[in-house]
């Protein structure tokens, strides 16, 4: 991926949002895998833009909505 560096790109805020379903009892391992999966992309985008945020929203397959894994990542987006 080649990104041209322009001064106006430094003022961008990029929010990567991913919704994942996980086992109700082990959300942490999936969250870590998601951050690892998108790590290289985030690094490339950070070189081109100052603000890059990854928001991984986890939902349990049994219907669980986690406070820290489902609701907290949504707050910066509102």
Q: Which pLDDT value is given to residue 9?
A: 52
DSSP 25-71: T-HHHHHHHHHHHTHHHHHHHHHH-SEEEEEEEEEETTS-B-IIIII
pLDDT single digits (tens) 19-76: 888 888 888 888 888 889 998 888 888 887 678 888 888 888 888 888 888 788 878 8
Question: Which has more confidence, 11 or 17?
Answer: 17
Q: Which residues contact 70 (CB under 8 A, 6 or more apart)?
A: 57, 58, 59
Confidence tier at 1 by pLDDT (50, 70, 90): very low
Say if residue 5's pLDDT is above 60. Answer: no
């Amino acid at each position: 991926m080649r990104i041209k560096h322009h001064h106006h790109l430094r003022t961008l805020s990029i929010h990567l949002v991913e919704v994942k379903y996980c086992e109700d009892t082990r959300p942490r391992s999936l969250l870590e895998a998601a951050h690892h999966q998108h790590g290289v992309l985030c690094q490339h985008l950070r070189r081109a833009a100052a603000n890059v945020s990854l928001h991984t929203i986890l939902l349990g397959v049994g219907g669980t909505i986690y406070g820290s894994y489902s609701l907290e990542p949504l707050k910066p987006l509102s």
